[in-house]
Structure formats: structure tokens, C-alpha cells
């Protein structure tokens, strides 16, 4: 029986699929010859056993589609992206001009690119901060009764940084408020689902390290974490450099973003505190792949390669230690388009030394279980939203196969995914 779009639409009742491989997003062992039953609202059955007749259509005795060569897996969760930015723009002057757009124009463009993500297989995005309110507007749009077909969006609103320190393009300074507690309350009042903290500056690639002191000291970070937690909100921290990572671990942030120059002892402490790590290889890899765009010479390229090699080794070590790894591409950053940049990030994680199944978990079940989203997705389990990918290109051979043609199911809608083409505007 072949895969036909109309056989996948639950318009007359639940749909029953039998597939060659089922990856549920959490198990270490793939299910061979698996069964999945879903309607337009939720998953009714997932696993190796035959489904109960009680959840099938009256009189149904056979699957709606038998797909022995296909794999089904949860839709992908992009856990670090800047929806307000167009990452595919590589020209530096054009990127600068883009940041000058009015908020309404930026939101319109972001809405268009967000809606394209579903066909690529991205069903949810954790926005990583913007001061234009684009992420919050998209989050509100998803939660509205008349939302268009779009991925789930979770946003912190404007990131929090120190005045005159790094982060002004995506955040607003904490000095706008008299106390840390009122700053947290202000962000929540604006609609933030979690708080984004700019704990450090960025890497000095010419010198191959982080040269500036951490932007937020341990005590300050701890106050932010405690104030956020008291209000039922998670925190995630932009952070690179050993000192900054140490501060974030000590403060107990929920996830560390980037985390370049993390050491093995810090990784063990992250595991013990259940601090997730979002390593974001893609922006640095772009700079190494396209040094001429940024004017990098051979010495800077050598630094970039050294940084990426150390980051890859840390990722492997983190996995061995049991750190919770979550995939995020920093899409919107220079040279990292939305959607396609995330698929590239997954391939970079595999190239670093993770197995395809480990990478898939980092893009599905790991964020689903750690990041406290407002809806249940990312794992194929009873009660979860029916948002998943069907592909005949085996992702267990390589996650690069996720860039090939696929079918995406999102709450009863069937989308035929593009095969490896990069669209403008992403």
C-alpha cells in the first residue's frame, strides 16, 4: 500500500498507520513494524502492538496505510531561533538594513517564514529573544482561536542584558527596572513564557576566546533564576566562556545556550543540576565556511576550527556523562536560515560524534520533556498532539535524510515537505 495524502487525513475518524520504523522521540530502541493511530486532536496509540478496536473506526480491521519502507518520528522542535531575523541573508549591509525595518514589516516577514517551517518538518520554535515584540506576537497568534497553520511558538520577549553591553539587538537592559524582581514581572506582564538572560558577551574570534568578563555575575543570575522560578517561569542563558558557564551553573538556569569553552567538570555539574545544553554549532560553522564574507584571514579560520573541534568533543563528552542535549541552530544569526539552518545544525551534531538517534532525541523528546511547553508534542505517545513526520529516507542512516522529501502531519493537516531547497526570506 502506498503513501497517499488523502489516506492520512482524519476527516472520517482516526487514521491507523503501520510503518517499518517508529521513533517515538524518547526510547533508545526504535520500534520495528510499529503502529500509530491518531485523529485531528491527539495520538490514540503508538508502539509495536496492534491497536485496540475500541479506538478505531467502526468495523476497521486493517491499517489505512501500510508503509514498510517508511519511518515515522515526531516533528522537530527548534529550541533556539530568532524569528525576527532573516538568517539566510549573508550580505552584511543587507542584514544591517533589515534591522531597521518597522515592527509591523518585520512581523509580517517573520509570519511568512514561520509558516514555511511546517513543511520542512519543524513543528515548534522556542524563540530566543527580540526587542521588537515579534516572538511575543507570534506566540499570541498561535494561541488565538483563528490562528493560521503555523508551528507552536514560545517566546521570552526581549532578552535581558546590561545597558551598554552585548545584546541590544535582541534585548532591553535590566536597568529599565528598579529591581530584578520588577524586571522579571515586567517581562511576564508583556507575555514572556520564560526569561532569556544575556550572561556573557560573545567570542572574540580574532583571539579565539571570550575576552570580556561575564555580563552578569553569579549573584545577579541567581536572583533572576529565583525570581523567575517563584513565578513559574524557566530561564535560559546566552553564555560562552568558562567563567560565564560557571556562573550559569551556579545560578541554576534551566538551559545554557551556546556554551563554548565549557569544560568536563562543568558538564558533570550541568548533568547533576539537570541544566540542559543547546550547543548551536551552525553560526560558527558558517563563519568557517564563508570567511570572505566577514573578512576572516587564515589565523581566524584556524581559531574557528579549533573552537568547533573543542565544541564537538564537549558535545560527545556531555552525551557520555548524561547531560540533557537540546538542539537549536540560532536561526536568524548570520548565515543560518530558519528551517534549513536547523537541519544543518542536526547534521553538524551528527558530524560531531552523536548517533542519528541521539540527534533526533535532541530535536524531539529532550526539549519536549525539559522545556515545559504549554502543549504536549515532540514524543509519539497517547494524548500528545498529532504532529509528526513520515519519510521513506531513513533518518537512522543519517539525519541529513530529514532534508529530503517527507510528509508532515500537523493536527490533521497533511503537508508534503520540500526536498532540500532553500527558499528566500528564511
The mean pLDDT of 101-122, rounded to a whole number, is 93
Residue burial 252-289, b: 16+ Cβ < 10 Å; e: rest = ebbbbbbbbbbeeebbbbbeeeebbbbbbbbbbbbbbe
pLDDT class of 100 with cuts at 50, 70, 90: confident
- Residue 370, pLDDT score: 98
Cell triple for 298:
587564515
pLDDT > 90? residue 97: no
The mean pLDDT of 398-410, rounded to a whole number, is 96
- Residue 6, pLDDT score: 74
Cell triple for 299:
589565523
226 vs 236: CA distance, rounded Å:
13
- Residue 1, pLDDT score: 45
Model pLDDT for residues 242-268, shown as the tens digit of each residue: 999 999 999 999 999 999 999 999 999
pTM confidence score: 0.97
Number of H helices, E strands in the chain: 13, 16
Residue 426: half-sphere exposure toward Cβ, Cα within 13 Å: 19
Q: What mean pLDDT value characterizes the chain? A: 95
- Residue 112, pLDDT score: 92
8 vs 66: CA distance, rounded Å:
11
Model pLDDT for residues 339-359, shown as the tens digit of each residue: 999 999 999 999 999 999 999
Q: Residue ranges of the domains in the chain?
A: 5-75+377-417, 76-370
Torsion on CA atoms 368, 370, 372, 376, rounded to nearest 10: 20
113 vs 424: CA distance, rounded Å:
9
**Fold match between 5-75+377-417 and 76-370?**
no
Model pLDDT for residues 173-217, shown as the tens digit of each residue: 999 999 999 999 999 999 999 999 999 999 999 999 999 999 999
Angle (nearest 5°) at CA 181 between 177 and 187: 70
Q: What CATH code would you report for 5-75+377-417?
A: 2.30.40.10
Architecture in CATH for domain 76-370: Alpha-Beta Barrel (3.20)
Model pLDDT for residues 266-300, shown as the tens digit of each residue: 999 999 999 999 999 999 999 999 999 999 999 99
Amino acid at each position: 500500500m502506498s503513501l497517499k495524502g488523502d489516506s492520512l487525513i482524519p476527516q472520517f475518524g482516526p487514521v491507523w498507520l503501520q510503518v517499518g520504523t517508529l521513533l517515538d522521540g524518547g526510547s533508545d530502541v526504535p520500534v520495528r513494524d510499529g503502529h500509530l493511530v491518531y485523529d485531528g486532536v491527539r495520538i490514540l496509540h503508538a508502539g509495536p502492538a496492534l491497536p485496540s478496536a475500541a479506538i478505531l473506526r467502526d468495523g476497521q480491521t486493517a491499517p489505512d496505510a501500510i508503509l514498510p519502507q517508511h519511518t515515522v518520528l515526531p516533528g522537530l522542535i527548534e529550541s533556539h531561533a530568532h524569528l525576527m531575523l532573516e538568517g539566510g541573508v549573508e550580505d552584511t549591509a543587507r542584514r544591517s538594513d533589515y534591522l531597521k525595518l518597522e515592527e509591523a514589516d518585520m512581523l509580517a516577514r517573520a509570519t511568512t517564514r514561520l509558516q514555511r517551517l511546517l513543511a520542512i518538518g519543524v513543528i515548534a520554535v522556542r524563540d530566543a529573544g527580540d526587542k521588537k515584540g515579534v516572538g511575543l506576537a507570534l506566540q499570541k497568534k498561535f494561541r488565538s482561536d483563528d490562528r493560521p497553520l503555523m508551528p507552536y511558538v514560545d517566546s521570552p520577549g526581549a532578552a535581558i542584558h546590561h545597558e551598554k553591553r552585548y545584546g541590544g539587538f535582541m534585548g532591553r537592559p535590566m536597568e529599565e527596572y528598579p529591581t530584578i524582581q520588577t524586571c522579571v514581572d515586567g517581562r511576564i506582564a508583556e507575555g514572556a513564557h520564560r526569561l532569556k538572560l544575556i550572561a556573557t558577551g560573545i567570542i572574540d574570534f580574532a583571539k579565539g576566546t571570550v575576552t570580556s568578563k561575564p555580563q552578569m555575575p553569579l549573584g545577579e543570575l541567581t536572583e533572576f533564576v529565583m525570581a523567575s522560578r517563584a513565578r513559574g517561569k524557566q530561564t535560559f542563558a546566552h553564555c560562552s566562556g568558562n567563567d560565564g558557564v560557571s556562573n550559569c551553573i551556579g545560578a541554576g538556569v534551566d538551559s545554557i545556550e551556546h556554551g563554548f569553552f565549557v569544560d568536563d567538570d562543568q558538564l558533570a555539574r550541568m548533568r547533576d543540576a539537570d541544566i540542559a545544553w543547546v550547543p548551536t554549532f551552525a553560526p560558527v560553522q558558517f563563519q568557517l565556511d564563508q570567511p570572505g564574507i566577514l573578512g576572516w584571514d587564515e589565523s581566524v579560520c584556524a581559531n574557528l576550527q579549533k573552537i568547533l573541534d573543542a565544541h564537538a568533543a564537549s558535545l560527545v563528552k556531555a552525551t557520555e556523562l548524561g547531560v540533557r542535549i537540546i538542539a537549536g541552530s540560532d536561526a536568524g544569526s548570520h548565515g543560518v536560515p530558519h528551517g534549513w539552518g536547523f537541519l544543518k545544525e542536526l547534521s553538524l551534531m551528527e558530524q560531531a560524534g552523536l548517533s542519528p538517534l541521539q540527534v533526533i532525541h535532541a530535536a524531539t523528546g529532550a526539549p519536549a520533556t525539559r522545556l515545559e511547553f504549554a502543549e504536549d508534542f515532540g514524543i509519539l505517545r497517547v494524548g500528545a498532539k498529532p504532529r509528526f513526520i513520515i519519510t521513506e529516507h531513513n533518518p537512522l542512516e543519517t539525519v541529513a535524510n530529514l532534508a529530503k522529501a517527507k510528509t508532515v502531519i500537523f493536527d490533521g493537516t497533511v503537508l508534503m515537505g520540500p526536498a532540500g531547497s532553500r527558499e528566500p526570506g528564511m
